Amino acid sequence: MSVSADIRRVSVPDIRARKGGEPIVALTAYHAHMARLVDPHCDILLVGDSLGMVAQGLESTVPVTLDLMILQGQAVVRGSRRALVAVDLPFGSYEESPEAAFRTAARVLKETGCTAVKLEGGVGMAETIRFLVARGVPVIGHVGLTPQAINQLGSFRARGRDEAERQLIAADARAVAEAGAFCVVIEAVAEPLAADITRALAVPTIGIGASAACDGQILVLEDMLGLSERVPRFVKRYAELGRAVGEAVGSYAAEVRARAFPSAAHTYGGPRPSGPEQGLHDGEKGTRAE
């Protein structure tokens, strides 16, 4: 699917207006080329701090830095044209105070060109969300399982299975919505709780391991494409690209070792007329000698 030159990005009001309507399609993205591929199909692309685990091999999202989030956010904005791009604020960059959160968020918006930021936390972060929104920073909330708190939580288990925890998560969701978050991610909570929260909130909910009743869904792109070795129970693999990559690289390695690659079709012959596209694919412009 191609994207026309006059395409308009999905906006914060567009997402807010989807409450109870057509479900919101969201995915994570960390690279320009993947953003380009998925952008025509998505309403939101989230540059998640999950990139620390998915792309950097970290054990959790806690070590992810602000500089890394900005670098990858820039790539996703460059690679996309339609979807609203949001960038996670990483652990330690916003919790100290609303003022610190604003400085971080302002830097992210300015340096990446994204539309919104996402931060984790409920009641305890409501004041910060209110502060940001009042100063022109669109915020996506995130409640339920909050990966940045893994050292306190102790595990990535699902939340909201007992009454006390249900009440806390429901209160968190209400607090961030009332503080001005334009939508709320609900991660890894019991299905009835996610459905109840969706009915209760005036803003859209986006589920990940939550409920089909949510106003939208998000998954980590590498998980749903079969590029991750281990994935949570709530992930449906829509492809097995990891296997395909292994097979393709295996074929390449075999041909190299057999001196079957490169063949004549993939090497340069004798002298050719010089021109502006010498050394490139026929009809293409670029910087690679192809």
Q: Is 285 annotated as a binding residue?
A: no
Q: Is 50 annotated as a binding residue?
A: yes
Say if CB 144 and CB 186 are below 8 A apart.
yes
Q: Is 97 annotated as a binding residue?
A: no
Say if CB 80 and CB 36 are below 8 A apart.
yes
Kindly name the residue from 59, 163, 187, 255 that is annotated as catalytic: 187
Q: How far is CA 196 from CA 32, 67, 166, 189, 269, in A?
A: 36, 37, 10, 11, 67
Three-state secondary structure call for residue 280: coil
Phi, psi (rounded to 5 degrees) for 275: -175, 175
User: How many whole angstroms separate alpha carbon 171 and alpha carbon 109?
Assistant: 29
Three-state secondary structure call for residue 185: strand
Q: Does the active-site annotation cover 59?
A: no
Q: Is 120 annotated as a binding residue?
A: yes
Q: What share of the chain is helix, strand, coil (3-state, %, to 5)?
A: 40, 15, 45
Q: Is 88 annotated as a binding residue?
A: yes
One-letter-per-residue 3-state SS of 65-119: CHHHHHHHHHHHHHHCCCCEEEEECCCCCCCCCHHHHHHHHHHHHHHHCCCEEEC
- Binding site per annotation, positions for 3-methyl-2-oxobutanoate: 49-50, 88, 118
- Binding site per annotation, positions for Mg(2+): 49, 88, 120
Query: Could you give the residue numbers annotated as active site?
Result: 187
- Binding site per annotation, positions: 49-50, 88, 118, 120
